[in-house]
Amino acid sequence: MTAPWTATVLTIFPEMFPGPLGLSLSGRALTEGVWKLRAVDLRDYAHDRHRSVDDTPFGGGAGMVMRPDVIARAVDDLAAGGMAGPRVYLTPRGARLTQAQVREWAAGPGLLLLCGRYEGVDQRVVEAREFTEISIGDFVLSGGEIAAMAVIDACVRLLPGVVGDAASLEEESFSEGLLEYPHYTRPRVWEGRAVPEVLLSGHHAEIRAWRRRQALEITRRRRPDLLNTLS
Ligand code: 9D3
């Protein structure tokens, strides 16, 4: 049997994992062995009895910086143990995560995810161990762990057999690059609001055309930037 897709997470809060990844789609796939999760406590690689992972920044300034030697020890130990795959450092100064990047990572052997805390990680270890710096968006989290979970979730749902309904992923690639059309279910009238008539008509070609128009319209209004890159 070949090794399952594996997420290895370097963190000072290993108890945060699997967290939400242990539930729902990803949780079932984890139990079934479709993917593996290993949360590694960075403090296990500290050099002192206080298990320090951070120190004051050279040049001054607020807060603390994560030490390069501690992180390198963890990375090298995992590499010696056969850990394969790209190395990702979750940081607000990283390049924005894209679905294209997620697709590439999901197709590989897995990821090593380094979660920043404090002000961040010493830049030398980012370079020396070839971490790709990634952000999940322009807002401020209190650490990299929740961002790492978002990256893992995005990858795991693309693994073969994780999303039960193959039609869901197919439809997703079909509507690529657009925001989704609105969805409706019963009751047909709720609080005086009726479901759009076309959806009750049974005319599948008309329904497809209506959904396409809705998707284009909402994309134009909310995310015109997405339309510029459409073919
Ligand atoms: C005072 C400068 N701050 C940068 C905006 C310092 C700082 C704030 C928050 C440093 C680290 C963090 C914690 N955030 C993450 O580790 C993080 C993150 C995020 O905050 N937003 C979006 N993506 C990511 S990935 C990791």
Residue 181 in contact with residue 214, Cβ under 8 Å?
yes
Atom of ligand 1 nearest to the CA of 142: 13
One DSSP character per residue, 110-170 reads: EEEEEEP-TT-B-HHHHHHTTEEEEES-SS--SSSHHHHHHHHHHHHTTSTTTSS-HHHHH
- pLDDT at residue 174 in the model: 63
Atom of ligand 1 nearest to the CA of 135: 23
- pLDDT at residue 33 in the model: 98
Can you say how many angstroms the Cα of residue 103 is from the centroid of all Cα atoms in its chain? 11
Angle subtended by helix axes 145-156 and 99-106, to nearest 10: 70
Sequence-distant (≥ 6) Cβ neighbours of residue 3 within 8 angstroms? 36, 109
Q: Which helix (H) or strand (E) holds 208?
A: helix 204-222
- pLDDT at residue 12 in the model: 98
Phi, psi for 22 (deg, rounded to 5): -85, 0
- Distance of CA 18 from the midpoint of ligand 1 (Å): 21
- Distance of CA 20 from the midpoint of ligand 1 (Å): 21
Q: Which residues of the chain have pLDDT under 70?
A: 165-167, 169-171, 173-175, 229-231
Whether the full predicted model's pTM is greater than 0.85, yes or no, is: yes
- pLDDT at residue 161 in the model: 93
Q: Would you kindly state where each structural domain of the chain is located, as residue ranges?
A: 5-156, 171-227
- In this structure, which amino acid lies at residue 181? Y
- Distance of CA 36 from the midpoint of ligand 1 (Å): 26
Can you say how many angstroms the Cα of residue 22 is from the centroid of all Cα atoms in its chain? 15
Residues with C-beta less than 6 Å from any ligand 1 atom: 90-92, 116, 119-120, 135-137, 139-144, 147
- Distance of CA 42 from the midpoint of ligand 1 (Å): 18
Sequence-distant (≥ 6) Cβ neighbours of residue 15 within 8 angstroms? none
Is the alpha carbon torsion for 19, 13, 80, 68 positive or negative?
Answer: positive
- pLDDT at residue 56 in the model: 98
Cα gap 122→65, rounded to integer Å: 6
The answer to whether domain 5-156 and domain 171-227 are alike in fold is no
- Distance of CA 142 from the midpoint of ligand 1 (Å): 6
- Ligand 1, atom 11: closest residue by C-alpha: 119
Which of 123, 120, 139 lies closest to 131, judged by CA?
123
The structural architecture, per CATH, of the domain 5-156 is: 3-Layer(aba) Sandwich (3.40)
Instruction: Quickly count: other Cβ atoms within 10 Å of residue 181's Cβ.
Output: 18
- Ligand 1, atom 2: closest residue by C-alpha: 119
- Ligand 1, atom 7: closest residue by C-alpha: 119
| Joined tokens for residue 204 | 């599948």
- pLDDT at residue 193 in the model: 99
The structural architecture, per CATH, of the domain 171-227 is: Orthogonal Bundle (1.10)
